[in-house]
Amino acid sequence: MAYDTTIADRVTDMLVARRATFYTKAMFGGLCFMVNDKMCLGVVKAALMVRLDPDKQEDALKEPGCSPMEFTGRPMKGFVFVDAAHLDSETQLRHWVNLALEFNPRATIAKKRSKRAS
């Protein structure tokens, strides 16, 4: 299992309940939830990936189970991981989903890279 399907199912249920328009995409060895064609949330192994307002990242990192999202050895601005152990209650998960959905309208869409000719 590349990602925790229980967390993914809970996020799906929460997004559906919020009537968010989204689709999922395999990414980072896990599952990414795209809202308005922008990366919003994801599940990687046993952690929730949250894209949030970069101005709120410092405060978010003070919350239990929250850590910087790092893939290349340095933190990505506006992205955090939340460990599954800190997502047990619906209130805990809802908090992180709300932060991601709140920022989503202001988030930028990643530019698609053109394929290089060989």
Residue 115: its pLDDT value, please?
60
Measured CA to CA, the distance from residue 59 to residue 44 in angstroms comes to: 22
Q: Which two tokens stand for residue 20?
A: 């968010």
pLDDT at 118 over 60: no
Buried/exposed code over 46-68 (b: 16+ C-beta within 10 A; e: otherwise):
ebbbbbbbeeebeebeeeebbee
Average pLDDT score over residue span 96-110: 94
pTM over 0.75: yes
Q: Which two tokens stand for residue 106?
A: 């202001």
Measured CA to CA, the distance from residue 110 to residue 118 in angstroms comes to: 24
